[in-house]
Structure formats: C-alpha cells, structure tokens
Amino acid sequence: MPINYAVVGLGQFARGQILPAFRECQNSNCVAVVTGNPDRARQQADQWGYRFVYDYDHFDDCCRNPEVDALYIALSNSRHTDFTVRAAQLGKHVLCEKPMATSVAEAVRMRDACRNAGVKLMIGYRCHFDPGNREAIRRVRAGEIGQPRQVLGEGEHHLHRLLKARLGSG
C-alpha cells in the first residue's frame, strides 16, 4: 500500500525535484501540499492534482487529515524542528530534508519527539550507503574514533556531468 505524503514547503527544491519525483514513485503519493503562499499552493495543486492544500497556519489540520500518512518537510533549515515536532505530536511520520537541524539540540528534540510519539523520523540524505560513509559509520560504532559532533566532507568533483569533453559542460 503506498504512503500518502503531504509536502511541506513549496520552494524551488520542492517544486523542481520533490513534487515531480512523486509522479515516478510506485510506493508513495503526494496527496497534499502546505505552503505560506496560497497562490503557489493552488497553482501547484491544479498543476499536479493534489487533493488537499493547506497554508502554514493550518498545518495541524493537515496532520489531522487521515488521508495523509507522512510529511515531507522541505522548508528552510531553521523551520525543520518546529514542523517535525508538531507533526510527531499529531501522530505523523516525518521525512525531513537535509540538513536535519541547525543544532545538535534541535536534532535531539526532533528525534525525541518522534521517538516519544512512536512515529518514524527519516532524513532525506542520499549518501547513506556510500562506501566511505559506511566505513565511517562502522568506525564510529566500533569506537575507533569516538563520538562525532560534526562531520565535514568534500564531494568528488570529477563527476561525469562536469567533464567538458564528454557532456559539453561549461
């Protein structure tokens, strides 16, 4: 049975990536959108056929909607915590876009709210199974490097899309 999501936040990333991707999903649907821009919400609902449209002032109504199973939080980073905690308190699972929070304290608050409510909290981080990340996780769990508080990384800049000779980049 597919999971019915409400996408919270209709910024460029949500409109350009998340909402179009739902059209390709076999196990998930977007049934609602939540935004601070009512005109944008109605335009997106008309374009994509969403059944429910909410503004931020009526976010709790979205969470109470029995046709919404989970929320995809795609707001600005500073708003992740409040919307995630509210969703959890109202019994909804949360998929939150990265970064999870702007501080460790906020991340812990999000985790605890979801744990206490018995709902899932997932972070939209695409590299969970990257070999380097898996090795770092293994080392942390094995106690080889202590308790990390922050992880910084550098991406691989030799991506195929950046190679002029192959793909016309530049």
Q: Is residue 167 very low, low, confident or very high in pLDDT (cuts 50, 70, 90)?
A: very low
- pTM of this prediction? 0.75
Q: Is residue 115 very low, low, confident or very high in pLDDT (cuts 50, 70, 90)?
A: very high
Whether residues 161 and 102 fall in one domain: no
> How far apart are alpha carbons 87 and 6 in whole angstroms?
11
Whether residues 106 and 156 fall in one domain: no
Mean pLDDT value across residues 130-145: 88
Summarize pLDDT for 33-80 with one digit per residue, the tens.
999 987 877 887 888 888 899 999 999 999 999 999 999 999 999 999
CB 47 within 8 A of CB 71: no
Task: Give how many domains the chain has, as a whole number.
Answer: 2
Whether residues 105 and 142 fall in one domain: no
pLDDT score of 169: 45
The dihedral through the CA atoms of 53, 56, 35, 86 has a sign that is negative
Whether residues 7 and 42 fall in one domain: yes
